[in-house]
Structure 1
Amino acid sequence: MDRGVAAVLMVIAGGFIALQSPINSRLGHAVGALQGAFVSFAVGTVVLFVAAALARGGLGRIGHVGEVNAIYLTGGVLGAGYVTTALVSVRSLGTGGVIAATIAGELTVAVLIDQFGWFGVQQQVITPARVLGIVLLAAGVLLVVRN
Protein backbone atom coordinates (compact mmCIF):
# COMPACT_ATOMS: atom_id res chain seq x y z
CA MET A 1 0.00 0.00 0.00
CA ASP A 2 1.22 3.49 -0.79
CA ARG A 3 2.58 5.29 2.32
CA GLY A 4 0.40 8.36 1.72
CA VAL A 5 -2.76 6.28 1.44
CA ALA A 6 -1.75 4.33 4.54
CA ALA A 7 -1.20 7.57 6.48
CA VAL A 8 -4.60 8.96 5.45
CA LEU A 9 -6.31 5.69 6.41
CA MET A 10 -4.62 5.75 9.82
CA VAL A 11 -5.71 9.34 10.42
CA ILE A 12 -9.28 8.24 9.68
CA ALA A 13 -8.88 5.20 11.97
CA GLY A 14 -7.56 7.52 14.68
CA GLY A 15 -10.75 9.52 14.32
CA PHE A 16 -12.70 6.29 14.79
CA ILE A 17 -10.84 5.72 18.08
CA ALA A 18 -11.77 9.22 19.25
CA LEU A 19 -15.42 8.51 18.43
CA GLN A 20 -15.31 5.06 20.02
CA SER A 21 -14.58 6.18 23.59
CA PRO A 22 -17.58 8.46 24.17
CA ILE A 23 -19.91 6.19 22.17
CA ASN A 24 -18.88 3.14 24.21
CA SER A 25 -19.06 5.16 27.42
CA ARG A 26 -22.73 5.99 26.78
CA LEU A 27 -23.38 2.34 25.97
CA GLY A 28 -21.57 1.29 29.16
CA HIS A 29 -23.54 3.83 31.19
CA ALA A 30 -26.76 2.27 29.91
CA VAL A 31 -25.87 -1.42 30.29
CA GLY A 32 -22.76 -1.55 32.53
CA ALA A 33 -19.07 -1.08 31.71
CA LEU A 34 -18.09 -4.69 30.98
CA GLN A 35 -21.45 -5.39 29.38
CA GLY A 36 -21.01 -2.35 27.12
CA ALA A 37 -17.53 -3.49 26.11
CA PHE A 38 -18.98 -6.94 25.38
CA VAL A 39 -21.76 -5.52 23.19
CA SER A 40 -19.23 -3.33 21.38
CA PHE A 41 -17.02 -6.32 20.61
CA ALA A 42 -20.00 -8.50 19.67
CA VAL A 43 -21.17 -5.96 17.10
CA GLY A 44 -17.60 -5.62 15.79
CA THR A 45 -17.28 -9.39 15.60
CA VAL A 46 -20.41 -9.68 13.47
CA VAL A 47 -19.18 -6.95 11.12
CA LEU A 48 -15.73 -8.59 10.82
CA PHE A 49 -17.30 -12.02 10.29
CA VAL A 50 -19.30 -10.75 7.34
CA ALA A 51 -16.33 -8.83 5.92
CA ALA A 52 -14.00 -11.84 6.30
CA ALA A 53 -16.55 -14.16 4.74
CA LEU A 54 -16.89 -11.87 1.73
CA ALA A 55 -13.17 -11.20 1.38
CA ARG A 56 -11.00 -13.07 -1.11
CA GLY A 57 -10.43 -16.55 0.31
CA GLY A 58 -13.41 -16.32 2.64
CA LEU A 59 -13.10 -17.94 6.04
CA GLY A 60 -11.04 -20.90 4.82
CA ARG A 61 -7.67 -19.64 6.07
CA ILE A 62 -8.95 -19.27 9.62
CA GLY A 63 -8.25 -22.98 9.99
CA HIS A 64 -4.53 -22.09 10.04
CA VAL A 65 -4.87 -20.16 13.29
CA GLY A 66 -3.51 -23.13 15.24
CA GLU A 67 -0.20 -22.71 13.43
CA VAL A 68 0.62 -19.31 14.92
CA ASN A 69 2.36 -18.60 18.21
CA ALA A 70 -0.15 -18.03 21.01
CA ILE A 71 1.14 -14.50 21.61
CA TYR A 72 -0.39 -13.51 18.28
CA LEU A 73 -3.83 -14.49 19.55
CA THR A 74 -3.78 -11.90 22.37
CA GLY A 75 -4.76 -8.93 20.18
CA GLY A 76 -8.43 -9.33 21.02
CA VAL A 77 -7.66 -9.42 24.74
CA LEU A 78 -5.55 -6.27 24.40
CA GLY A 79 -8.33 -4.60 22.43
CA ALA A 80 -10.94 -5.57 25.02
CA GLY A 81 -8.73 -4.16 27.75
CA TYR A 82 -8.34 -0.90 25.86
CA VAL A 83 -12.03 -0.52 25.02
CA THR A 84 -13.09 -1.24 28.60
CA THR A 85 -10.51 1.11 30.09
CA ALA A 86 -11.36 3.90 27.64
CA LEU A 87 -15.07 3.38 28.21
CA VAL A 88 -14.64 4.00 31.95
CA SER A 89 -11.84 6.60 31.77
CA VAL A 90 -13.54 8.95 29.29
CA ARG A 91 -16.00 9.93 32.02
CA SER A 92 -13.24 11.53 34.11
CA LEU A 93 -10.56 12.37 31.52
CA GLY A 94 -12.78 13.42 28.63
CA THR A 95 -12.25 12.25 25.08
CA GLY A 96 -9.16 14.43 24.61
CA GLY A 97 -7.54 13.07 27.76
CA VAL A 98 -8.24 9.45 26.80
CA ILE A 99 -6.84 9.94 23.31
CA ALA A 100 -3.78 11.88 24.56
CA ALA A 101 -2.97 9.16 27.10
CA THR A 102 -3.64 6.45 24.53
CA ILE A 103 -1.24 7.99 22.04
CA ALA A 104 1.44 8.44 24.72
CA GLY A 105 1.14 4.78 25.73
CA GLU A 106 1.11 3.64 22.11
CA LEU A 107 4.19 5.63 21.19
CA THR A 108 6.16 4.57 24.25
CA VAL A 109 5.49 0.86 23.71
CA ALA A 110 5.97 1.22 19.93
CA VAL A 111 9.45 2.69 20.44
CA LEU A 112 10.33 -0.26 22.69
CA ILE A 113 8.98 -2.71 20.10
CA ASP A 114 11.10 -1.02 17.45
CA GLN A 115 14.20 -0.94 19.67
CA PHE A 116 14.11 -4.65 20.41
CA GLY A 117 12.56 -5.87 17.14
CA TRP A 118 9.74 -7.63 18.98
CA PHE A 119 7.07 -9.44 16.94
CA GLY A 120 9.27 -9.52 13.85
CA VAL A 121 9.39 -5.78 13.19
CA GLN A 122 12.57 -4.28 11.82
CA GLN A 123 14.73 -2.89 14.63
CA GLN A 124 15.01 0.88 14.93
CA VAL A 125 17.32 2.22 17.61
CA ILE A 126 15.95 4.52 20.30
CA THR A 127 17.51 7.89 19.58
CA PRO A 128 17.64 11.00 21.76
CA ALA A 129 15.08 12.57 19.41
CA ARG A 130 12.66 9.67 20.01
CA VAL A 131 13.16 9.95 23.77
CA LEU A 132 12.50 13.70 23.55
CA GLY A 133 9.34 12.99 21.55
CA ILE A 134 8.09 10.65 24.28
CA VAL A 135 8.91 13.21 27.00
CA LEU A 136 7.14 15.99 25.10
CA LEU A 137 4.14 13.77 24.49
CA ALA A 138 4.00 12.89 28.20
CA ALA A 139 4.10 16.62 29.01
CA GLY A 140 1.27 17.16 26.54
CA VAL A 141 -0.80 14.45 28.24
CA LEU A 142 -0.30 16.16 31.60
CA LEU A 143 -1.43 19.48 30.14
CA VAL A 144 -4.51 17.92 28.54
CA VAL A 145 -5.68 15.91 31.56
CA ARG A 146 -4.94 18.34 34.39
CA ASN A 147 -7.77 20.43 35.77
Structure 2
Amino acid sequence: MNDLSKAKARSLELEENSFLDQYGDRPVLEDKEVEGLQVLKDGMWQTVPVIPHALVVNLGGLMQVMTNGMFKSPLHTVLTNANKLGMSIAVFDEPEAEKEIGPVDHLVDHMRPRLYRSVRNFAAFNYECFQKGKDSLKELRI
Protein backbone atom coordinates (compact mmCIF):
# COMPACT_ATOMS: atom_id res chain seq x y z
CA MET A 1 0.00 0.00 0.00
CA ASN A 2 2.98 2.30 0.23
CA ASP A 3 2.96 2.25 -3.58
CA LEU A 4 -0.69 3.34 -3.55
CA SER A 5 0.13 6.20 -1.19
CA LYS A 6 2.97 7.28 -3.48
CA ALA A 7 0.67 7.09 -6.52
CA LYS A 8 -1.89 9.29 -4.76
CA ALA A 9 0.82 11.87 -4.10
CA ARG A 10 2.09 11.74 -7.71
CA SER A 11 -1.48 12.22 -8.99
CA LEU A 12 -1.49 15.56 -7.18
CA GLU A 13 2.00 16.43 -8.48
CA LEU A 14 3.51 16.10 -5.00
CA GLU A 15 6.69 14.42 -3.83
CA GLU A 16 6.05 10.67 -3.56
CA ASN A 17 6.49 10.60 0.21
CA SER A 18 4.26 13.61 0.96
CA PHE A 19 1.69 11.41 2.69
CA LEU A 20 3.99 8.61 3.88
CA ASP A 21 6.17 11.12 5.76
CA GLN A 22 3.18 11.97 7.94
CA TYR A 23 2.59 8.30 8.81
CA GLY A 24 6.04 7.56 10.18
CA ASP A 25 7.68 4.14 9.89
CA ARG A 26 4.47 2.11 10.11
CA PRO A 27 3.51 0.39 6.86
CA VAL A 28 0.27 1.17 5.07
CA LEU A 29 -1.63 -2.12 4.76
CA GLU A 30 -3.78 -3.31 1.87
CA ASP A 31 -7.55 -3.55 2.04
CA LYS A 32 -9.28 -6.68 0.69
CA GLU A 33 -12.39 -7.03 -1.50
CA VAL A 34 -15.51 -6.11 0.45
CA GLU A 35 -18.98 -7.23 -0.68
CA GLY A 36 -21.93 -4.97 0.06
CA LEU A 37 -20.04 -1.70 0.15
CA GLN A 38 -22.28 1.32 -0.34
CA VAL A 39 -21.48 5.02 -0.50
CA LEU A 40 -23.79 7.98 0.02
CA LYS A 41 -24.03 9.97 -3.21
CA ASP A 42 -26.50 12.78 -3.84
CA GLY A 43 -28.45 11.77 -0.72
CA MET A 44 -28.91 8.15 -1.86
CA TRP A 45 -27.01 4.97 -0.98
CA GLN A 46 -25.26 3.58 -4.06
CA THR A 47 -23.83 0.06 -4.19
CA VAL A 48 -20.18 -0.07 -5.22
CA PRO A 49 -19.90 -2.72 -7.95
CA VAL A 50 -17.70 -5.73 -7.24
CA ILE A 51 -15.01 -5.98 -9.89
CA PRO A 52 -13.12 -9.31 -9.83
CA HIS A 53 -9.50 -8.97 -8.73
CA ALA A 54 -9.94 -5.24 -8.12
CA LEU A 55 -8.94 -3.39 -5.01
CA VAL A 56 -11.51 -0.99 -3.57
CA VAL A 57 -9.90 1.73 -1.49
CA ASN A 58 -11.80 4.19 0.67
CA LEU A 59 -9.30 6.96 1.26
CA GLY A 60 -10.96 8.11 4.46
CA GLY A 61 -10.92 11.33 6.40
CA LEU A 62 -7.19 11.26 6.97
CA MET A 63 -6.50 11.63 3.23
CA GLN A 64 -9.19 14.30 2.90
CA VAL A 65 -7.34 16.36 5.51
CA MET A 66 -3.85 15.72 4.08
CA THR A 67 -4.99 16.57 0.51
CA ASN A 68 -6.76 19.73 1.73
CA GLY A 69 -10.07 18.36 0.44
CA MET A 70 -8.86 17.30 -3.01
CA PHE A 71 -9.52 13.62 -2.22
CA LYS A 72 -12.91 13.04 -0.59
CA SER A 73 -13.86 10.64 2.17
CA PRO A 74 -17.23 9.13 1.30
CA LEU A 75 -19.83 8.32 3.92
CA HIS A 76 -20.11 4.56 3.54
CA THR A 77 -21.63 1.39 4.95
CA VAL A 78 -21.28 -2.34 4.41
CA LEU A 79 -24.41 -4.44 4.11
CA THR A 80 -24.81 -8.08 5.05
CA ASN A 81 -26.44 -10.61 2.75
CA ALA A 82 -28.94 -13.00 4.38
CA ASN A 83 -28.52 -15.54 1.54
CA LYS A 84 -24.78 -15.53 1.04
CA LEU A 85 -21.89 -15.63 3.47
CA GLY A 86 -19.67 -12.64 2.94
CA MET A 87 -16.51 -11.38 4.54
CA SER A 88 -15.38 -7.82 5.00
CA ILE A 89 -11.96 -6.85 6.15
CA ALA A 90 -11.40 -3.29 7.23
CA VAL A 91 -7.83 -2.15 7.51
CA PHE A 92 -7.11 1.31 8.81
CA ASP A 93 -3.89 3.07 8.00
CA GLU A 94 -3.26 5.37 10.89
CA PRO A 95 -0.21 7.52 11.48
CA GLU A 96 1.88 7.28 14.60
CA ALA A 97 0.13 9.12 17.45
CA GLU A 98 2.82 11.80 17.84
CA LYS A 99 2.75 12.72 14.15
CA GLU A 100 0.93 15.95 13.32
CA ILE A 101 -1.54 15.50 10.47
CA GLY A 102 -2.63 18.39 8.30
CA PRO A 103 -2.82 19.51 4.68
CA VAL A 104 0.40 19.05 2.73
CA ASP A 105 1.93 22.51 2.29
CA HIS A 106 2.05 22.26 -1.52
CA LEU A 107 -1.74 21.84 -1.63
CA VAL A 108 -2.38 25.13 0.15
CA ASP A 109 -2.06 28.47 -1.65
CA HIS A 110 -3.97 31.68 -2.33
CA MET A 111 -6.19 29.86 -4.87
CA ARG A 112 -6.91 26.96 -2.49
CA PRO A 113 -6.72 28.14 1.13
CA ARG A 114 -6.14 25.75 4.00
CA LEU A 115 -9.41 23.94 4.78
CA TYR A 116 -8.38 21.90 7.83
CA ARG A 117 -6.39 22.50 10.98
CA SER A 118 -3.65 20.09 12.00
CA VAL A 119 -4.11 17.50 14.72
CA ARG A 120 -1.95 14.99 16.56
CA ASN A 121 -3.16 11.45 17.27
CA PHE A 122 -5.71 11.52 14.46
CA ALA A 123 -7.02 8.05 15.36
CA ALA A 124 -7.91 9.08 18.92
CA PHE A 125 -9.41 12.37 17.71
CA ASN A 126 -11.52 10.55 15.10
CA TYR A 127 -12.70 7.97 17.65
CA GLU A 128 -13.57 10.67 20.19
CA CYS A 129 -15.64 12.52 17.60
CA PHE A 130 -17.42 9.29 16.66
CA GLN A 131 -18.27 8.60 20.31
CA LYS A 132 -19.77 12.09 20.63
CA GLY A 133 -21.76 11.73 17.38
CA LYS A 134 -19.63 14.36 15.65
CA ASP A 135 -18.04 14.36 12.21
CA SER A 136 -14.27 14.59 12.67
CA LEU A 137 -13.83 16.33 9.30
CA LYS A 138 -16.30 19.04 10.29
CA GLU A 139 -14.50 19.41 13.62
CA LEU A 140 -11.16 19.95 11.83
CA ARG A 141 -12.59 22.32 9.26
CA ILE A 142 -11.28 25.88 9.53
If the length of structure 1 is used for normalisation, what is the TM-score? 0.22
Greater helix fraction, Structure 1 or Structure 2: 1
The structure where strand makes up a greater share of residues is 2
Instruction: Normalising by structure 2, report the TM-score.
Output: 0.22
- Look at both structures and tell me which one has the larger radius of gyration over its CA atoms: 1
